[in-house]
Amino acid sequence: AQTVTQSQPEMSVQEAETVTLSCTYDTSESDYYLFWYKQPPSRQMILVIRQEAYKQQNATENRFSVNFQKAAKSFSLKISDSQLGDAAMYFCAYRSAFMETSGSRLTFGEGTQLTVNP
């Protein structure tokens, strides 16, 4: 079974600075997807960024980028120029690419609560 670990329960950053959230995972599969989701106080789960394991290039979405290290099974999220609206719980998640074995379900980490200080 796959596992996802987020070792930082809480992180804080000053507005306009950069912060990196860590995530490690364990799997025996070769083809999979990794995601970062943001959950603000509204409870809504918002997709931040997605990475396909077969792609060597790190995904980027505006101020959000990832550092994907497949051999090390590491998938960190970097938030640049942090804004007050970035304050939220962030979840790392894994999904197998083999639908017949998993139904595309997500395995989540425990979450990292990010505080942005003005």
Partner 1 sequence: NAGVTQTPKFQVLKTGQSMTLQCAQDMNHNSMYWYRQDPGMGLRLIYYSASEGTTDKGEVPNGYNVSRLNKREFSLRLESAAPSQTSVYFCASSGRGSPSAFGSGTRLTVV
CA distances from 86 to 3, 26, 94, 98, 105 (A): 26, 27, 22, 32, 26
Looking at 45, 65, 78, 80, which residue binds partner 1 (CB under 8 A)? 45
Q: Report the distance separating Cα 13 and Cα 9, nearest Å.
A: 14
Nearest residue (CB) to partner 1, 66 versus 71? 66
**Binding residues for partner 1 restricted to 88-117, rule: CB under 8 A:** 91, 95, 99, 103-111
Indicate whether 41 belongs to the interface with partner 1 (CB under 8 A): no
Q: Report the distance separating Cα 15 and Cα 85, nearest Å.
A: 10
Residue 101's SS3 state is helix
Nearest residue (CB) to partner 1, 81 versus 110? 110
Nearest residue (CB) to partner 1, 78 versus 97? 97
Indicate whether 35 belongs to the interface with partner 1 (CB under 8 A): yes
The answer to whether 91 touches 27, Cβ cutoff 8 Å, is no
- Residues engaged in binding partner 1 (CB under 8 A): 4, 6, 9, 33, 35, 42-45, 47, 50, 91, 95, 99, 103-111
